[in-house]
Structure 1
Amino acid sequence: MNSSVKSPKEWWPSPAKLNLFLHILGRYDNGYHQLQSLFQMLDYGDQLAFEITRNEGSSNENNVSIRMDTPLKGVPDDDNLIIKAARLLAKKTQCNKGAVISLDKRLPMGGGIGGGSSNAATTLVALNYLWDTGLSEDELAELGLALGADVPIFVRGVTAFAGGVGEDITPAPQPEKYYLVANPNVHVSTAEVFTSPDLPRNTPPIRWDDYEYEKTRNDCQQLVANRYPEVAKLLQWLVHYAPSRMTGTGACVFATFSDYTLAEQVRAEMPATWQSFVAKGVNRSPLLDKLEQQK
C-alpha cells in the first residue's frame, strides 16, 4: 500500500443532550449550584476523528503533540475543551502518543445542548481506546468532571437523572420520543445565568421515582427569556405545536413529539432565521455503540 495515501477518517459520535428539566435547589459554599436534572441523550450531534501520532523520547505531556486539524474558529487550541481533554488524558496516563483531531461541527456553541462537553467526553473515550491507556469509565468520568460538570454524563453515555453539580448520575431510561431542537441564534453565557441575583435557587428536591415532565420546569428559562427576546419568541412559537422548554441555560429550545413525521412537519413551518434539527431521544449514547464496535 502506498504510505502517502491516507485511509478514510473514522468518525466518533459526539451526541447532543437535552435537559428535560433543570431545578436549582441551592448553592454550595464553593459557589457551585446544587442541581437536579434529567439528561436525555440524542442520536444527533458532532463527530470527531483522531489521527494517532507517536512522540519520541519523554512521556512528559509538554512533549506530546496534540492539535486540531482545523482549529475551531474563535477558539484558540489552549481554550478548546477537545485539546484540554486530550492533554489531561495524556498527563494522567503518562502517554507519549499524540493526535491530530478533526471536528465535524453540527451543534451550536453556547446552545445548552452539550456541544463542548460532549466533544470533551468523546475525546476522552476515543483516545483512551486508541492510545490504549486503559482507564475505566469511572476514571474517565472523574477526569471529565475537571473539564466541566456535564462531561461525566457524556462519558457514561446513558439517559440519566443528575444531582449535585451534575456529577451524581442515576441511569433513568425514558420513552424514546422525538425532539425538534431549535437555536434562536443568540449565545447565552452560562456564567452570566448562574451569577444572576434573579435566578431561583430554592426549588424543593424531587424524588426520581416521582418524575413527571409536566410537574417540572427549567429554573433558568424565565431569566433567559427576559434577557434574550429571541429565546422568548421561539418558545412562544413552539408551544403552539407541542410541549416546549429551554434546555440547560439556553439558548436552544426543544419541543417533544411522539412521531418523527409530525416533528419534521412542524420544523418545515419554522421561520428560516432559526436553525433546527429533529433527533430521537435514546437511552444509550451512540458513542457507547461506537466503542463497543471497536472491541
Structure 2
Amino acid sequence: MSDAGSFSSPSSSPSSSRSFSAGWPAPAKLNRFLHIVGRRADGYHLLQTVFQFIDRADTLAFALRDDGRIERETDLPGVPAEADLVVRAARRLQAETGTRSGVSIRIDKQLPMGGGLGGGSSDAATVLVALNHLWGCGLDDDALAALGLTLGADVPVFVRGRAAWAEGIGERLTPVEPDEPWFLVLVPAVHVATAAIFKAPELTRDSPLITMRAFLGGAGHNDCEAVVHARHPEVAAATAWLSQHTTARLTGTGACVFGAFADEAAARAVMAGRPAGLEAFVARGRNRSPLLDRLARARAGD
C-alpha cells in the first residue's frame, strides 16, 4: 500500500486532486485510575493516573501544500477550525520548525467529544507525529512531547505512544505494562466539560499518593467520579448499571464509563443487555499505540 493512501472527501474540496497520506490513527485512551493529589499555585491539578490506549480511534489524512496554509477540510459541528487542536498543533509545529510547508487535513471522527477518551489530544499528537515525518522536521520524541504539552497535558502520552504511569499535571510519564483486557465502554449522551469539573469546589484534591505496585495490585479510583455523577445523572445511571456486571469506572473527567472483561465475548454479551438508547462499544486495551506502527510503515516507505 502506498503511503499516499486514499481517503474519501467531497469532490468540491480545494485539495481533492492532491495525494493524501492516509490511515494515521489517533487512538482513544482510558484512565485506569485518576487521583487528584494536589493543586499548583497556577491552578493546574497534580495527579496520578495510568493512561492505556484502546483499539478505537479517529483517523487522519494529510495532503502537503506548498503555499504554507494549514487547512482542516472536515467539518466538525461545534468545533471551529481555528479552535481545533488539530489545526493548532500543525501551526505550532510549523512555527517551531520554520518549515514553509503547509497541509490539508481530513479527520474521520469516531471518538465522542467530552467523553474523557482524549480524542482532541490524540488528534493533536497524531498531527505532530505525522507532520514531523511528512514535513521532514526531524524533531525527536522529547521535542515533540514538549511541544505537545503546550497544547494540552494529555498530548505527550499520545506522542510517545506507550501506556504510562503519569504524575505531575500528567506530563511526567513512566512506561508501564498493565493487563490488556477487553473493555466495554458506555457513552452517555452528555458532554462533560473538563474545566468545569476541575473547578468544582467539591472535587477531592488531596488523595494520598499510591505506588505503581499498588495500582497493579488493584488499588485506585477516579476522584472526578462523584462530581460528574452529581452533575450528570446520565453518567451516574450508566455507572450503576455497569457496576452490576463488573467494576465500573469513569475515564478522565467523563462522560464515558468503562469496565474490564477477560474476553471479547463476555464484554459483548453484557453490552447486548444495556439500557435502551445508551451507546456503547467494545475495544481491546493496548499498551502500544497503533500510531507508532503507522509511523514505522511511513518511514519504511509504505
TM bin, normalised by shorter chain, reads over 0.9
> Displacement, 1:7?
5.1
Task: String of CA shifts for 1:152-203, please: whole Å, max 9, x gaps.
Answer: 0100111110000000000001111111111101011111111111000110
Contact residue 38 and residue 159 of structure 1 kept, 8 A: yes
- Pick which of 77-86 and 264-273 moved more: 264-273
Q: Which runs of 4+ in 1 moved over 4 A?
A: 4-9
Inter-partner Cα distance in structure 2 for 1:14 and 1:247: 17
| Structure 1 residue 13 corresponds to structure 2 residue 48 | no
Letter in structure 2 aligned against 1:70: T
Match for residue 181 of structure 2 among 177, 182, 193: 177
Contact residue 23 and residue 60 of structure 2 kept, 8 A: yes
- 1:1-295 paired onto structure 2 within 5 Å: 10-55=22-67, 64-212=68-216, 214-295=218-299
Which stretches in structure 2 are left out of the alignment for 5+ residues? 1-15
Which stretches in structure 1 are left out of the alignment for 5+ residues? 56-63
Inter-partner Cα distance in structure 2 for 1:213 and 1:185: 33
Contact residue 20 and residue 213 of structure 1 kept, 8 A: no
Task: String of CA shifts for 1:244-289, please: whole Å, max 9, x gaps.
Answer: 1000000000011011111111112123412211111111000011
Letter in structure 1 aligned against 2:42: N
Inter-partner Cα distance in structure 2 for 1:222 and 1:5: 51
> Displacement, 1:24?
0.4
Q: Secondary structure at the match of 1:86?
A: helix
Inter-partner Cα distance in structure 1 for 2:88 and 2:217: 35
Task: String of CA shifts for 1:100-122, please: whole Å, max 9, x gaps.
Answer: 10000000001001000000000
Inter-partner Cα distance in structure 1 for 2:64 and 2:266: 43
Letter in structure 1 aligned against 2:73: D
Contact residue 149 and residue 165 of structure 1 kept, 8 A: yes
Letter in structure 2 aligned against 1:104: D
- TM-score, structure 2 as length reference: 0.91
> Displacement, 1:72?
1.5
Inter-partner Cα distance in structure 2 for 1:53 and 1:189: 35
Q: Secondary structure at the match of 2:189?
A: coil
Contact residue 82 and residue 120 of structure 1 kept, 8 A: yes
Contact residue 21 and residue 213 of structure 1 kept, 8 A: no
- Pick which of 24-33 and 211-220 moved more: 211-220
Q: Secondary structure at the match of 1:218?
A: coil
Structure 1 residues 5 and 75, CA gap change in structure 2 (3 angstroms): closer
Q: Secondary structure at the match of 2:76?
A: coil
Task: String of CA shifts for 1:192-228, please: whole Å, max 9, x gaps.
Answer: 1111110001101112132246421000001110111
Letter in structure 1 aligned against 2:178: Q
Inter-partner Cα distance in structure 2 for 1:250 and 1:206: 22
Tell me the equivalent position of 2:4.
none
- TM-score, structure 1 as length reference: 0.93
Q: CA RMSD in A?
A: 1.3
Structure 1 residues 164 and 123, CA gap change in structure 2 (3 angstroms): same
Task: String of CA shifts for 1:29-85, please: whole Å, max 9, x gaps.
Answer: 111000000001111110000011112xxxxxxxx2011112321111110000000
Inter-partner Cα distance in structure 1 for 2:99 and 2:136: 9
Structure 1 residues 226 and 126, CA gap change in structure 2 (3 angstroms): same
